[in-house]
Amino acid sequence: MTAKLLHELVHEAARAHGNKTAVAFDSSIAAGVCLTYNEVISLANELTGHLRIYVQKHHGTIGLFCHADVLLPAWIVGILQFPAAYVPLDPASPPLCNLRMINKCRLNYCLLQNELLNVFLFYSILLYYTSHYILLLILLFHNQQQFQSAFSNLLSLEICVTLSSHRLTLIKIQSEQDTNIQMSDQRSSSAMTKDIQQSEPLAYVLHTSGTTGLPKIVKVPHRCIVPNITHLRSVFKMTAEDVVLLSSPLTFDPSVVEVFLALSSGACLLIVPSAVKKMPRRLANVLFKRNKTTVLQATPTLVRRFGRRILQEEVLSANSPLRLLAFGGEPCPSLSLLKSWRQEGNGTHICNLYGTTEVSCWASCYKVPDKHLCSEDITDQFVPLGEPMLDTVMEVRDETGRLVAEGEGQLFIGGQERVCLLDDEETVVEGTMRATGDWVQVRDSQLYFLGRKDRLIKRFGQRVHLDALQQIIENLPRVEACAVSLSEGDRLLAFIVLTSGQPGTLSSSEFPHQKPFQHSTQSSEDLSTVHVSRNSTSPSLRVTEGEIRQRLSQLLASHSIPDMIFFIPALPLTSHGKIAIDELMRMCDAQKQDINTQTVWKDIESVRLKLQTLWKECLGLPNDVAVEEDAHFMLSGGDSLQALRLCDEITVAMGTPSVGLLEVILDGSFSDVVSHVMTETHNNAIQPSKKRMLDDSGSLVSPKRQQKEMSTGNATKSTVGFVVPSVRRTMGFVVVRRAGEVIDWGCFGRMQEKNFSDALGTNGSKLTVTSTSEDSLISNPSHELHNIYQENPAIKKLTEPHVPQEVTETLPVSESPGEGSGEDRSDVLLLGLRVLWSSDTGRCVDASPVLLVGPDRTTVFIGSHSHRLQALDLTSGEVIWERILGDRLESSAAISKCGSLVAVGCYDRQIYFLDASCGDTVWTFETGDVVKSSPTVDPKTGLMFTGSHDGFVYALDPLAKTCIWQHYCGGGAVFSSPCIHSSPRQLYCSTLGGNLHCLDPDSGKLLWTYPSSVPFFSSPRCSDSSVFIGSVNGQIIGISHTGDTLWEFSTNGPIFSSPCISSLTFWTNQQVSTTPIRSTSTLSNHTVTCGSHDGHVYCINGDNGSLLWQFQTTGKVFSTPFVFDGDPWGLRTLVAVCSTDGKVWILDGETGTLKATLSLPGELFSSPVVWGHKIVVGCRNDYVYCLELTKQ
């Protein structure tokens, strides 16, 4: 049976309901007018007769340029009966949009409302001159008449007939260009149109919204849209008593469904002026009081414009005439939001429609069960897309094109009958499946909308569905509506409409610079009167934003939380009833420019108070919390996204971008931020706060210290007057640093080219090292270190236990393999930790210790925020010497290849080279900014590599006292420490700008760069085959030495910890078999152990990035783990790690189970260093601690 045509459906209804009202027009002011079915058919037949007289048969499309009118159904049916497809042209659309449509459709005939004739005449002239590239000539004429008179000879615009009874004028459009090409083109065009008409009669031609690019022209056959009408008529249970609103403009294909759903059912089609649709209260009165509307199909945004009170009291009230509400064109509101709109006792049925213009119109329908709208316990907030419509096929495919049965993918729709022609397509294979560009999730055989593919973004390496995020925000108690977008700078913006009529609701007066509510719901061309508002001027809005952020932090990962929230009285709409995102972004930009004059930065105290407020807001801290001068944003609970938000807030308040502000927030103290802002604002530096003004008097030094009184004035950039200490080439020494880095520098002078462990008489248990060099750098101590100090009497003497003075604290551990916890309790082998000694440095200690192990003594070098660098005896804790340098010390020290120098970076931009034996200054090198990077020593050349916040990496020769080369890293401070690898011989350094650079260590030449969208605080670490690094987006990354990504392992928090690389090749198969989460096939030559701000320590297979085990601490893990040999305690390997809540953890390196723990009275950001039975770590209570690990 041949499929029916749209107008045939109307004829069938007219035969059954001829005297019933077919269409009603209500302006809300005057009395409504209406037409019966018989009158509509009569007028349509009359129009068809005129068209058959004046329009050539082969023209298959006729334009319709009109406003809403009671005669609209008759016009459409009259064109379809011609037969021709109607092409709706919206007078409210931009002229160039209509002109493009006319040109693309080769439109030669158009029906105009009489009052719009002059408008269309100008369009036609504009079209002609645009095509001839002389549009600028318009500027030479003062009015339209003069213009038309001058150029009428170049334009053929023929008025065919004026139809008074229809209030229409039929015109023929033909330019000189059309005449020139008509002879060559008419036959082919006519033949093509004729072929299409014969095989696939077209019903209408329109264009897509163009939200993802240039709008597409869509030619829709009758057989594609008729199944939609007939199926929905059944699903909606349509009757002749229904009243259906024409809510969509003719240029939006849901209008076709609205018109013919009503007219094919004998129902009444209600038409209202577009202006009334922008007036929520008046629209509600017209729909539900004056006309008793029973079926409403609309976008969620259009429905939200009613506001919650009108929705509850009129639209979805207990006695509402609305029988069915169908949402389409945008994601359906959540179940909880739908429920909040309904008054108790409301019986309106709700449906979710999904479809695309390319496969016009609807592809699926889901009828929300009434029980879901009444239930108090809604388990799933999101509404499915539902079942496919008649003759429609829906498929979900992944990025490789494979079908998805469960999971996420792109939705494709089509079918044998559901075929439309796009743009210049002449034919389409039946059954063609069109990509929708929409991302969905298949779950329990249902499809759930996630968002447009172009609205599926990656932020900081994590996926964010903007549309899904929008729905989550809309579910919050005080949120009426929301729009989410991404700015050019990758800032996530949320535009929120607050609920009206609810407790705590803000009045419109609390929205600064805004017009009354109703004016903000205008169409896109009227949006100049709508303003967005930040919360800076309203205490109520500040509180509301804080509540929203607090709630979102409980629901979302940090990368999904908006950076900036704007409050608006209502969402602006496009002509199709969708959110006008472009307009919101334009208004946001304008608001940012306007706000620049609102903040005056007068003096340091006003700046400090303003910054304290912003600081606490971005961290979610109560107002009564004090912000200390040395508070660190990242160490106070902030993450990189919150830092971005603070940067935005300060930038908006300052009224100008501040170069380097983000890096100061990420890495500096509150005092540093104040100083930076004042410097940028007034172009002069602020004086340091009193809390940072430390003199060299030694007033903060404890009585036990024997301090070397030496001011920084002795440390000049010149090398004149400095004496280089004697180079220790006759005695060997070992350097122990964080991340398990153990370096042999000499092997007692006789065996520099041999392995240090061999020189000390190792028993042959070979350690696999990740970095070997001519000087035998041992990066992974695991099993070999025990032999180093046990087989050599000189070193063994230094590691003998010291009589402890403090009580140990131990905890039982979990036997659960794969994941341990600091809260676990079970009976496993216990180790003990106790404090041997502590040393007061005067201020917080965030630097990590470095140990110089010599034949006579082991010295601990560590810096403090008190400006002090201490040299401590590992055995007794006595101060060997102490220096007060020019500013705070956060950089960990390094020992030169000769063993005579200690190098350390300082906040005063200097890198100090001090005599390791006495602390005298040997040389200083000045960089362009603060130095927090820890130096790294080249085992081949003895050069020391370090980074600076000036964005450079420097190669320094401490003996020649010169800079060999410097490399600019392209923007972003170098916070982390460089890492050198011997084969291939490469140097790695990372930046807060999000780049990992690979350099030639001899020349500084850039070999390759690994880019990231987020800062790197973690220092890179190397194995034979890979370089590893952690990222603030929560990923641990394995990268080849050629710069290719090998694997990525995701944690649930930012990573500031650096990886510790260790060898586990000595594990036996029997031991491995006792660990269910691993098998021998998963073992790698190297493992990567790293901490995360999610509170876990992770041990990862270095070859493939698979998880070997994880352990949950009771705080965040900022510091770097230290993997060491566990043989003295009867274990293969152990891991020492610290959490920020002050706890030191000792874990089994094979299983991750807890062996011992100890709480220190302060936060721990320093990384532990292990030598023998001793663990040294700095604490934020101003002390350096030495702990002893014992066997119970």
CATH number at residue 681: 1.10.1200.10
Residue 427 has a pLDDT of: 75
Domain co-membership, 614 together with 472: no
Higher pLDDT, 995 or 656: 995
Burial (Cβ within 10 Å: 0-12, 13-18, ≥19) of residue 862: buried
* 173 domain residue, yes or no: no
The CATH number covering residue 756 comes to 2.130.10.10
DSSP-assigned letters across all residues of 766-824: PPP-S---TT-EE---TTHHHHHHHS-HHHHHHTSPP---S----------SSEEETT-
Residue 684: pLDDT over 60: no
Domain co-membership, 847 together with 963: yes
Could you tell me if 637 and 596 are in contact, meaning their C-beta atoms sit under 8 angstroms apart? no
Please write the tens of the pLDDT for every residue from 117-166: 877 666 555 555 544 433 333 333 444 444 344 333 434 668 899 999 99
Residue with tokens 């990025």: 399
Residue 97: pLDDT over 80: no
Average pLDDT, whole number, for the chain? 78
Residue 680 has a pLDDT of: 67
Domain co-membership, 591 together with 622: no
Give me the phi and psi of 940, to 5 degrees please.
-85, -50
Least confident span in 475-484, 588-597, 1038-1047: 588-597
Q: How confident is the model at residue 263 (pLDDT cuts 50, 70, 90)?
A: very high
Residue 232 structure tokens:
């929905």
* 142 domain residue, yes or no: no
Residue with tokens 């640093």: 737
Residue 1007 structure tokens:
């070999």
Domain co-membership, 552 together with 617: no
Domain co-membership, 660 together with 514: no
Rounded to 5°, angle at Cα 863 from 858 and 864: 140
DSSP-assigned letters across all residues of 212-267: TSSPPEEEEEHHHHHHHHHHHHHHTT--TT-EEE--S-TTSTHHHHHHHHHHTTT-
Q: Give which of 845, 747, 703 is closest to 1162, Cα–Cα.
A: 845
Q: How confident is the model at residue 1191 (pLDDT cuts 50, 70, 90)?
A: confident
Residue 51 structure tokens:
């068209």
Burial (Cβ within 10 Å: 0-12, 13-18, ≥19) of residue 1000: middle
Residue 458 has a pLDDT of: 66
CA-based torsion, 355, 360, 363, 366: positive or negative:
positive
Higher pLDDT, 696 or 574: 574
3-state SS, one letter per residue, for 607-642: HHHHHHHHHHHHHCCCCCCCCCCCCECHHHCCCHHH
Which of 668, 692, 716 marks a domain boundary? 692
Residue 453: pLDDT over 80: no
Domain co-membership, 784 together with 846: yes
Residue with tokens 């601490």: 1113
Domain co-membership, 655 together with 774: no
CA-based torsion, 144, 149, 155, 158: positive or negative:
positive
Kind of pairing between the strands at 243-245 and 268-271: parallel
Please write the tens of the pLDDT for every residue from 840-865: 999 999 999 999 998 889 999 999 99
Which of 669, 692, 715 marks a domain boundary? 692
* 363 domain residue, yes or no: no
Residue 20 has a pLDDT of: 97
Could you tell me if 869 and 889 are in contact, meaning their C-beta atoms sit under 8 angstroms apart? yes
* 1054 domain residue, yes or no: yes
Taking the C-alpha atoms of residue 1171 and residue 741, their distance in angstroms, rounded to an integer, is 11
Please write the tens of the pLDDT for every residue from 817-832: 355 665 443 445 479 9
Domain co-membership, 785 together with 834: yes
Domain co-membership, 923 together with 1015: yes
Residue 1003 has a pLDDT of: 94
Residue 128 has a pLDDT of: 52
Please write the tens of the pLDDT for every residue from 44-68: 999 999 999 999 876 789 999 999 9
Domain containing 1106 equals 734-1191
Mean pLDDT of 203-227: 82
* 66 domain residue, yes or no: no
Residue with tokens 């040294």: 1176
Please write the tens of the pLDDT for every residue from 290-317: 999 999 999 998 898 888 889 999 999 9
Domain co-membership, 589 together with 660: no
* 806 domain residue, yes or no: yes
Q: How confident is the model at residue 679 (pLDDT cuts 50, 70, 90)?
A: confident
Give me the phi and psi of 1111, to 5 degrees please.
-135, 135
The CATH number covering residue 467 comes to 3.30.300.30
Q: How many residues does the chain have?
A: 1192
Which of 544, 570, 595 marks a domain boundary? 595
Taking the C-alpha atoms of residue 573 and residue 506, their distance in angstroms, rounded to an integer, is 23
Domain co-membership, 609 together with 558: no
* 872 domain residue, yes or no: yes
Please write the tens of the pLDDT for every residue from 718-746: 232 233 333 333 357 899 999 888 887 65
Domain co-membership, 589 together with 617: no
Taking the C-alpha atoms of residue 200 and residue 1035, their distance in angstroms, rounded to an integer, is 54
Least confident span in 331-345, 356-370, 637-651, 664-678: 637-651
Residue 987: pLDDT over 90: yes
* % the chain with pLDDT above 90: 45
Domain count for the chain: 3
* 590 domain residue, yes or no: yes
Whether the pTM exceeds 0.75: the reply is no
Burial (Cβ within 10 Å: 0-12, 13-18, ≥19) of residue 951: buried
Residue 334: pLDDT over 90: no
- Per residue in 969-982, is it b (16+ CB within 10 Å) or e — as a string? beebbbbbbbbbbb
Could you tell me if 854 and 731 are in contact, meaning their C-beta atoms sit under 8 angstroms apart? yes
